[in-house]
Amino acid sequence: MAEIVATAALSHAPSLTGWLYKAPEDTQKRILAGFRKMGVLVRAKKPDYIIGIANDHALNLPFDNTPDFCIGVASEWSGPAEWFKDWVALPDYKVLGKSHHARTLAREINRSGIRVAFSDDLLFDDNWSVPLHFVTPEHDVPLIPINMNCTVPPLPSVDLCYQMGETLAEVVRGMLPEGDRVIIMATGGLSHDPGGPNYFEVDEEYDRWFLALLEEGNPQRVLKEVTIEGMLAAGDGGTTELLSWIAAMGTVGDHPAKTICYEAEPALRCGLGCSFWDLT
Amino acid sequence: MGIMNTDRTLPSNRMVFEVRRSPEMYERFTRDLEQIMAVYGLSEEEKAAWREENIGQLAELGVHPYFLPQISRLFHGVAHNHNESEACKAYARHLDDLH
């Protein structure tokens, strides 16, 4: 059976690469140190590939037919998509996929009863481009991207996202090749409000509460206390991206997370943080 | 207003979705707004809001909130999108309408 060697969760805000220079210098240093540490932790696990879970920014999942989850099954990916290049200010890159493995995930997760779509044509914006820049800057670890709907109503419930993570972990361990070392990597959040009245604010109190909750390693409490309504109150336009972190939690059960870094800097318009679950 | 008030059927939402995906459609957007609004079948109410770059009105009509700052970027550019950028300042002018 394949082994999930670690699960990671991190923000992917475009400000991390596009206008980080607008933050105070010491804040920039702490952010770069934290996100680069995340990369060191992931790469130290020598993963054969990463299975990522990120919200789709209404770029690939159309409004007339919006799945909760969509597994990327291409053998190679590229980014950033044209219109987003200047926004994230990152050079063009390519990263290998794992087509056969991704199809296995799509087939088996559907068989489990969770409906997932699949696609070999996903455009990458900040959701993958920014985290890969920090975690695998050489783009030398293959990626199976899972794009999920976190913002187009009706949203998948917190319970469904957690169940998706549990099922993903079961399929990885049960169906992917013996000896494969797998990292699960959720990206999105923390609090932010693109398109809302709090666009230029960050809800630091909510973010720190959420990160502390992950450190408890108590999924029952998470499922009881983390709600879509609470996320919306912390930043209507984007905080529900944390549903991808809930899916990540589903892959670790009661393992406690370690918070690697957190910064609440209004110039960057998003609570920025990283959590890591060391499973081996 | 908020993401739960999104009107998924609104033609403006499809237009923003596809313009960001396709360099060709983005070029058409920048070249001739009237023509591309006709292609997507926007209502007269929507067209009026786009002509005025009235983000508050677009929100009221059901444009997805995530698209609202992106609409500012479609008009004013995406690079260096910090809080003092033209795109952000254009968005900020409509903040009171978004409460």
> Is residue B59 scored above 90 in pLDDT?
yes
- Please state, as a whole number, how many other Cβ atoms lie within 10 Å of the Cβ of residue A267: 17
Question: What's B61's domain CATH number?
Answer: 1.10.700
Residues of B in contact with A267 (CB under 8 A): 82-83
pLDDT at B1: 79
Indicate the Cα dihedral angle B85, B87, B90, B94, nearest 10°: -110
Residues of B in contact with A22 (CB under 8 A): 82-83
pLDDT at A20: 98
Indicate the Cα dihedral angle B52, B55, B56, B60, nearest 10°: 100
pLDDT at B44: 98
Residue A257 contacts residue A215 (beta carbons within 8 Å):
yes
Confidence bin at B96 (pLDDT 50/70/90): confident
> Per-residue pLDDT averaged across A46-68, rounded?
98
| Structural domain for B15, as ranges | 3-98
pLDDT tens for each residue of A81-98: 999 999 999 999 999 999
Helical axes B11-21 vs B44-51, angle rounded to 10°: 50
Question: Mind telling me how many Å the CA of A215 is from chain B's nearest CA?
Answer: 29
Confidence bin at A4 (pLDDT 50/70/90): very high
Cβ–Cβ gap A151/B3 under 8 Å: yes
Encoded tokens for A122: 């996903």
Instruction: Please indicate if any CB of chain A lies within 8 Å of the CB of B68.
Output: yes
pLDDT at A37: 98
> Is residue A116 scored above 70 in pLDDT?
yes
User: What are the φ and ψ backbone dihedral angles of A3, each rounded to 5 degrees?
Assistant: -120, 130
Residues of A in contact with B98 (CB under 8 A): 195-197
Read off the pTM: 0.97
> Per-residue pLDDT averaged across B67-88, rounded?
95
pLDDT at B98: 72
Q: How many domains does chain B have?
A: 1
Which residues, including other chains, have CB under 8 Å from residue A210's CB and lie 6 or more apart?
A190, A226, A242, A245
Instruction: Please indicate if any CB of chain B lies within 8 Å of the CB of A57.
Output: yes
> Per-residue pLDDT averaged across B26-42, rounded?
97
- d(CA A52, CA A172) in angstroms, rounded, equals 13
| DSSP label at residue A59 | S
Write down the architecture of domain A3-278 according to CATH.
3-Layer(aba) Sandwich (3.40)
pLDDT tens for each residue of A217-247: 999 999 999 999 999 999 999 999 999 999 9
- Residue of chain B with shortest Cα separation from A124: B21
Global ipTM: 0.95
Q: What is the mean pLDDT of chain A?
A: 98
> Is residue A150 scored above 70 in pLDDT?
yes
> Is residue A52 scored above 80 in pLDDT?
yes
The secondary element (H helix, E strand) that includes residue B21 is: helix B11-21
The secondary element (H helix, E strand) that includes residue B59 is: helix B55-61
> Is residue B69 scored above 70 in pLDDT?
yes
Encoded tokens for A262: 């957190």
Which residues, including other chains, have CB under 8 Å from residue A91's CB and lie 6 or more apart?
none
Tokens 């309408």 correspond to B97
Instruction: Please indicate if any CB of chain B lies within 8 Å of the CB of A229.
Output: no
Residues of B in contact with A236 (CB under 8 A): 2-3, 65
Question: What is the separation, in whole angstroms, between the first and last Cα of chain A?
Answer: 15
What 3-state class would DSSP assign to A264?
strand
Question: Mind telling me how many Å the CA of B13 is from chain A's nearest CA?
Answer: 8
Confidence bin at B95 (pLDDT 50/70/90): confident
> Is residue B99 scored above 80 in pLDDT?
no
Confidence bin at B97 (pLDDT 50/70/90): confident
- d(CA A30, CA A186) in angstroms, rounded, equals 21
- Please state, as a whole number, how many other Cβ atoms lie within 10 Å of the Cβ of residue B9: 10
Write the single-letter amino acid at B84: E
- d(CA A147, CA A115) in angstroms, rounded, equals 13
